[in-house]
Structure 1
């Protein structure tokens, strides 16, 4: 609870904005129609002013960057060159100079404006880091994310965001997340942090297999960083135009949010180009301006709310200005406008997302939801498989001189007319709600009159609500809330969820004696009665209706109901599980009947399944009920099967009940992050609710005596924040269970702070769900993908094998010719021993006989290989000689397997068709010095996985010599690598050695001892020494 307690004084402060009128001076003097024009800047300021946004911000004084800061990321020569253009009025000189760079122009003010753009961005980040402002926006130009260390590029001169990120690192920030949603790849930002694990760079950009500018191979999904930065570079390539809101939200839910929560940044920088917005002639995408507020809001609960948005591109002025204004509005904490029902991502986007997951899942545990398949095995019935592939279609040729005029697309008048009408309609229909009160609250101490006669210490005790109320007061929140008067629920309102006999039965409690009440409770499951129970339950339900009224009438944006007794177990005709009347169910029906709502979402995160709420709406399509709860195969309360994933509703309500059942205890923050990002949020965005009600039980919280889980109070705040962009912000929390007084008090306080827009504490680092939770989530996905189209891509499985080899990558750009000489040079020019790969899988137990020893090994060409004399190429005396090797391989087992020449000859057509291709293991690796000597006990290839005891497809770590299973069993060796950092492992199947950091197979004499020991165990013979210099001729 310490983290939640320490957040008491962490309240929302102002949003900052920095800009300078001088930015309007920078323009192209020889092309008056150039898209990177001053009107881009002016229009953004004008629209933000029209919406009254600038007046609500703290204005930061602009300043220029110091040269010492520039030199950190740009060369002195580049800086001097730009400085030489300062106040230069020789247009011919400026244009000739511009022709040396890709998509660049120079103006006499370009140098000053570039210094100012970088300086303003750094100043904004500095103010955020010092907590002088909460978050902010730099409305600057020229943009920066294409500016390389020693090159101007793409309208960019100095890399504003990269310089600001570097500044943040220099002043003590340890982890920076850069989200680049400009439609062009910010290749320069990528380059600057490509080997740096302190910066996670995440870019979504138009690519079209390299045919879209900047036409770089490094912009594809498999460029994931190098060295320490491997896994910290994300590229999501858009290989088609016309991407929409649903495509981008799918990226957020499936990739960005899970990884961001695992990374846990300390500040977020957004390279906010708006050239993906509808109408932009460069991007040709179709994002609505409103979706940018959703993209940004979902990030703002990370990094203690430290978010800096920096203007990059965007060239259709109206959509640029509107999208930028919606972004600033989100920074100010205003409710997100509705964006309608979102369906699944397009197939092309789905492929890109799956490709990214495939290359990054080894580095991020939060991306390991997809099942794995082996490409050597036939698909199971109804199995949907994804096969990653690479394609690069650009010729890669750079011109010696770049065009300086008309080098940009121009839209036709008819298209511009169409876009203008469409965009104007969207803007006019977008509701920009901002109620007078951000959050309302209802509480009444009379609800404490409901108590247990027999057990004064019963866990559902009156102090549950009084303690929450006191915490809200101690945290200074009550004075920031709109306090509502409580009221009793009428019988007619109770009938929204309950039949008359149940209401009459409960109303008679106040006439019973204590003895009668004690006897009566035995009829029901886990309830107790008091003479004031009926009044307290009516007060709880009626008070929640007051919150609904305040929100639906536009008086309050959101609300909190601190009420008891709880309600979600109470069904149509019975009390159950401490619950008398189902307050949330009554509230949902009240909103439908009184305000004409057609779609109400109920999210139930109480650790117990809300069986009563499910029953009430089981045949109702107007209410979507989603519950994440502990199930334990039906053994956890309420001890029935109602909470199973297979229960989906009935009749018109089929598909509108969604259960995510945990089948064990100890679930924590990571599991709930996964449940929301993989299931709850995607379905919620497809459903497009008009009101969101939360059955906010806190018995999944750490320390709860019933739940047995470990969700932190601040995590409940994050869950609240994730739901807040829905339904124009109309979100209401109603207390259900939770029986550790401290836990529920801190938890509801964190939720209330989230609704108020206070920065939330960061969650623990390295969040990744356990396998049991992944299984539960996948079970729900498998059931509900037929009802919710947005879930369909998530049920695809990925190949367990490495199908993206260097040979395959190269062939996508320049397919090699296949002749009788099958051996090909790899990208470094070496020729090495060939292992064969059929669709990515190394063939197992292939005998290379004497021809293995004839493959050439040119050690002099190896990088980092310091072997320099012939003695190094000879096997030491302790190794088997060539003759003894040939003798040992003449056994019947070996002779029955094909030679390399025979195998290649028999499979020539498969090679031609690229159904099979050659993998050349690297002969050097920087991690080889880490290899430890084999244990004295040797290596036993029959050893099962030390974690799951599975005997199949195991690997042995060459550093600690633990044995664990491979990718398409239970991935334990991958997890071992992620946890220990041990890089090199040896396969018991084919005796190959894989390096995780290098993402490559390795073959080096350093590995011989371990491979030989495994070979002895597997075949009873020594492994051939294959590091000599004899040749092979396969023709």
Structure 2
């Protein structure tokens, strides 16, 4: 973001040091971000992998889905496309103990370490059976360390500027690996470890983790559930909890806790066969709006490819090419700092293709076409609206759905509202042992063959052509000859194009472009859209005196003419055709036209609004007539409505015309330019007018229009070419526009469009009259097309008038575009049940609160509750003796429960059996320490909920009083504390409970005072 520049507001006659009326005005230089990125060009892509990762395999089940071929096939496909050779290879390394201990418990680290090189397959299988869906190989520990360390390494390489972005092709995967539990093929949480490393060591404050693996990354969620520095966004198959991992916490209403509330986003997929349209809707309606508001400094993608077509685990239908689009849309954020980390994916063909196309996108190649997308499914509409409902109190970007009183739902028209609900069809009962063989779905041969044929067809039909030149441009000084002789200061002046040219030169853009020769448009080309009499009328101006031309000007609206006008107009129109030809012939991927006079106001028979021949419209017609294109998207972001382009194509579905403009300024014809004007005849729905009713719209409003309207429609339309009528008079500082778009805002819009039409985008200059603004803005568009890292625009609250305009546009176009199905009313207030507490999701303070709530039941209720718990425990362990204990003390003193306690099995939150801070931070208790149950907090004298520090034996209160014990830890560094309430020991550094013999002595002292008897001797061994 740009840094404010401060200027003191000096009062006349007063010294600068005077304090009276000492006022500072803070100005934000809206061009500073552009200046800061002057020398930032597209960097290299890193890749990290280790051939040893093929060693990890299941010894007792050769058909296990998480197999070595997942790794080898991805690498082979990347080599087939020549991608690995284009990357910077980063050296892999193992994660350090310090990195692992940030998020994993020592006992799980040591357990896996103990399997290193073990030849005992039977023992390895026995250990594996204690965890859900894992196998352990003699090499697993070393390779899990490599996978985690390599993920940290690729993130380091990106943040250190060695590479722009990168991909970690690693296994075993990581996003199911919990703090103290292996799970779902995962041992250490690669992505979470790398994210935590970046937060702790790289000065990063905001990380976006996008998890598109088809299984919910519950472990990553747990690790950052209360941390607002990490926005965790997961799209996963759920089926109301019936799909693995069958957790309530995977549903949409689990949105984080404490300071992290609103920063955990779950998009549950409640049916199979979800496709490209569903995922793109998630991106446009949820992920991108949230990401632009969050403004991440780093993006990490947990890239599982098990939602890809053909995968028997996911049963979804994402095409491999779609992953390119999902990746590309994120590369405009975080200045392009994107790390892709392999997670799942079990159909080898779609896994390899999807991963290779993802890497290809990181390298800057154009997104392959994914054809027209279907209508988003009803199920995904419900999921997206449910997520919006729970998140909109926390995010300013999610404000496009109306509100209604749920008690009056009977008066609502069907289809205009949605009421979210929670359904759980899974089971909360988890087995104590898990299957280790044949524990996965299997497709029959017929299904495999059919899916294989579909994939082969998709791969064959996907064009991966890359033009020789990434960006072409046209500029000719002769177009500066067109000028207003009578009014030299007229805003449409020659310096508009010369200043842009100089800025492109200054920023080194032109050195990276393919320059085209300008040319005149031919008469035949002009006749495609303009009438012969009108062409002749303009042509004869070339030989007339200025006095005669002054008379002619009065026939038109807002026009000036000089003897060089006709020749300049021919060059301007012809140059736009040159760019289109270079793009459609395959010579260049994209282009920019630094041309004038502009064209989008020019009618077929009339010059209008500084325009003579309609450059952008002629470029579209050229593509239709010469290259037989059938679908052309024109985006007109000039602040004035492009009446000429609209009229020329209002009945033609081969051109989708979208205009973002102010309704209250020139040409002042709302009957032609308001939101309800949508085209006529067969062109109905193919004219989209986003008509702002007032001044002041900026980056936030324009990006919202792109996310809510333009990109959903564009993907459904599937253009073969994108033309931008690029007026920059909505830029901040423009004397005519009155809007606030920054250069980086234009860069971001360009970046979004570049994912369409295989990157075939032409930016053709229209208006824009502040020389600084237009030169920097066109330069940022060019840098976006070159793949340079872009600044993220500052997020501001949405202008209510813009929200209303976007809602109006959607309402008029919903009948024509099924992608616009998300603007319905949502309930006011809370209509959902509370989230069931999963203690793995809670911070220490919240866990303590929960324990307090559980232990604060009325005395008459406690014996019954404890008895029920005891009976369940006894039944589970096969104990049938009677009578059961009736107090917590009796329950804890059962011999079998003492044993369970020492083994860590009798805790609602499993404590660590050891932590590295025990030796240093637990001082023996002796007669010199004076404390007890009645000792008040040393800071506030409260006695209701206290802890004692095991280093200095100072007593302080917990979070739910005044949090003085946490303050004591922060100031003293003392890590371990003992609760007066439940005798639990907490380590602040490990962020976990601890139960170890080193603390039993001091526990015993408290136990004596609390219960009148010592701890059972069995606990002391």
Normalising by the smaller structure, the TM-score range is 0.7 to 0.9
2:544 paired with 1:515: no
* Offset, 1:805: 3.2
* Higher deviation after alignment, 494-503 or 463-472: 494-503
Give the corresponding residue for 2:732. 702
* Offset, 1:373: 1.3
SS, match of residue 62 in structure 1? coil
1:546, 1:807 → 2: CA distance?
A: 60
Give the corresponding residue for 1:615. 647
2:609 paired with 1:580: no
Q: How does 1:860-939 map to 2 (within 5 A)?
A: none
1:309, 1:69 → 2: CA distance?
A: 20
2:126 paired with 1:96: yes
1:70, 1:141 → 2: CA distance?
A: 16
Give the corresponding residue for 1:70. 100
2:457, 2:670 → 1: CA distance?
A: 50
Which deviations, in whole Å up to 9, do the C-alpha atoms of 1:195-231 show, x marking residues without a partner?
0000000000000011100000000000000000000
2:699 paired with 1:669: yes
Give the corresponding residue for 2:257. 226
The ranges of structure 1 where at least 4 consecutive aligned residues each deviate by more than 3 angstroms after the TM superposition are 378-383, 635-640, 807-810, 826-831, 925-930
1:221, 1:827 → 2: CA distance?
A: 26
Which deviations, in whole Å up to 9, do the C-alpha atoms of 1:640-681 show, x marking residues without a partner?
432101111111111110011111111111001100000000
Give the corresponding residue for 2:980. none
Which deviations, in whole Å up to 9, do the C-alpha atoms of 1:510-530 show, x marking residues without a partner?
122211212221221111111
Q: How does 1:791-806 map to 2 (within 5 A)?
A: 791=820, 793-806=821-834
- Contact (CA 8 Å) 2:254, 2:835: kept in 1 or not? no
2:637 paired with 1:605: yes
Give the corresponding residue for 1:944. none
2:167 paired with 1:137: yes
* Offset, 1:344: 2.2
2:856, 2:444 → 1: CA distance?
A: 49
SS, match of residue 362 in structure 1? coil
Q: How does 1:809-888 map to 2 (within 5 A)?
A: none
* Offset, 1:13: 1.1
1:27, 1:189 → 2: CA distance?
A: 24
* Offset, 1:828: 9.6
Give the corresponding residue for 1:189. 220
2:258, 2:823 → 1: CA distance?
A: 32
Which deviations, in whole Å up to 9, do the C-alpha atoms of 1:685-715 show, x marking residues without a partner?
0000010000011111110001101110011
SS, match of residue 253 in structure 1? helix
Give the corresponding residue for 1:862. none
2:32 paired with 1:32: no
- Contact (CA 8 Å) 1:608, 1:638: kept in 2 or not? no
2:244 paired with 1:213: yes
Q: 1:429 aligns with which of 449, 453, 461?
A: 461
2:414, 2:654 → 1: CA distance?
A: 31
* Offset, 1:795: 2.5
* Offset, 1:761: 1.1
Q: 1:786 aligns with which of 803, 815, 827?
A: 815
1:538, 1:381 → 2: CA distance?
A: 55
* Offset, 1:381: 5.1
- Contact (CA 8 Å) 1:781, 1:794: kept in 2 or not? no
1:621, 1:501 → 2: CA distance?
A: 27
2:115 paired with 1:85: yes
> Cα gap change, 1:614/1:212 in structure 2, threshold over 3 Å: closer, same or farther?
same
- Contact (CA 8 Å) 2:400, 2:823: kept in 1 or not? no
Give the corresponding residue for 1:863. none
Which deviations, in whole Å up to 9, do the C-alpha atoms of 1:435-494 show, x marking residues without a partner?
100000111000000000111111100010011111111111111000001100011101
* Offset, 1:389: 0.3
Which deviations, in whole Å up to 9, do the C-alpha atoms of 1:742-781 show, x marking residues without a partner?
00000000000000000001221x4442211000000000
Give the corresponding residue for 1:965. none
Which deviations, in whole Å up to 9, do the C-alpha atoms of 1:99-146 show, x marking residues without a partner?
000001101100000010001100000000011100000000000000
- Contact (CA 8 Å) 2:422, 2:833: kept in 1 or not? no
TM-score, normalised relative to structure 2:
0.79
Give the corresponding residue for 1:763. 793
* Offset, 1:638: 4.1
1:395, 1:41 → 2: CA distance?
A: 33
Give the corresponding residue for 1:818. none
> Cα gap change, 1:373/1:827 in structure 2, threshold over 3 Å: closer, same or farther?
farther
- Contact (CA 8 Å) 1:442, 1:485: kept in 2 or not? yes
Give the corresponding residue for 2:575. 543
- Contact (CA 8 Å) 1:509, 1:531: kept in 2 or not? yes
- Contact (CA 8 Å) 1:435, 1:554: kept in 2 or not? yes
2:856, 2:212 → 1: CA distance?
A: 37
> Cα gap change, 1:94/1:400 in structure 2, threshold over 3 Å: closer, same or farther?
same
1:504, 1:148 → 2: CA distance?
A: 76
Q: 1:2 aligns with which of 12, 18, 32?
A: 32
Which deviations, in whole Å up to 9, do the C-alpha atoms of 1:229-285 show, x marking residues without a partner?
000000000001000000000000000000000000000000000000011010000
1:130, 1:807 → 2: CA distance?
A: 40
Give the corresponding residue for 2:1000. none
2:401 paired with 1:370: yes
SS, match of residue 554 in structure 2? helix
Give the corresponding residue for 1:449. 481
Q: Alpha carbon RMSD of aligned pairs, Å?
A: 1.9
Give the corresponding residue for 2:952. none
SS, match of residue 601 in structure 1? strand
SS, match of residue 591 in structure 2? strand
1:379, 1:741 → 2: CA distance?
A: 54
SS, match of residue 790 in structure 1? coil
* Offset, 1:639: 4.3
Give the corresponding residue for 1:1013. none
Structure 2 gap segments, 5+ residues each: 1-30, 839-852, 859-933, 935-957, 964-1021
1:828, 1:295 → 2: CA distance?
A: 48
* Offset, 1:591: 0.3
Which deviations, in whole Å up to 9, do the C-alpha atoms of 1:948-983 show, x marking residues without a partner?
xxxxxxxxxxxxxxxxxxxxxxxxxxxxxxxxxxxx
2:321, 2:413 → 1: CA distance?
A: 41
- Contact (CA 8 Å) 1:250, 1:344: kept in 2 or not? no
* Offset, 1:926: 8.7
Q: 2:422 aligns with which of 378, 390, 394?
A: 390
2:116, 2:331 → 1: CA distance?
A: 39
2:760 paired with 1:725: no
1:805, 1:219 → 2: CA distance?
A: 15
Which deviations, in whole Å up to 9, do the C-alpha atoms of 1:377-403 show, x marking residues without a partner?
243557611010000111211101111
Q: 1:569 aligns with which of 595, 598, 601?
A: 601
Q: 2:321 aligns with which of 269, 283, 290?
A: 290
- Contact (CA 8 Å) 1:450, 1:532: kept in 2 or not? yes
SS, match of residue 533 in structure 2? helix
* Offset, 1:801: 2.4
> Cα gap change, 1:443/1:621 in structure 2, threshold over 3 Å: closer, same or farther?
same
Q: 1:594 aligns with which of 626, 632, 644?
A: 626
Which deviations, in whole Å up to 9, do the C-alpha atoms of 1:594-627 show, x marking residues without a partner?
0010001100011111011001111111100001
Q: 1:458 aligns with which of 490, 508, 526?
A: 490
- Contact (CA 8 Å) 1:577, 1:638: kept in 2 or not? no
Q: 1:302 aligns with which of 324, 333, 352?
A: 333
Q: 1:354 aligns with which of 361, 370, 385?
A: 385
> Cα gap change, 1:417/1:807 in structure 2, threshold over 3 Å: closer, same or farther?
closer
1:759, 1:106 → 2: CA distance?
A: 41
* Offset, 1:927: 10
1:300, 1:828 → 2: CA distance?
A: 49
1:8, 1:284 → 2: CA distance?
A: 46
2:646, 2:483 → 1: CA distance?
A: 27
2:128, 2:390 → 1: CA distance?
A: 38
TM-score, normalised relative to structure 1:
0.78
Q: 2:284 aligns with which of 246, 253, 274?
A: 253
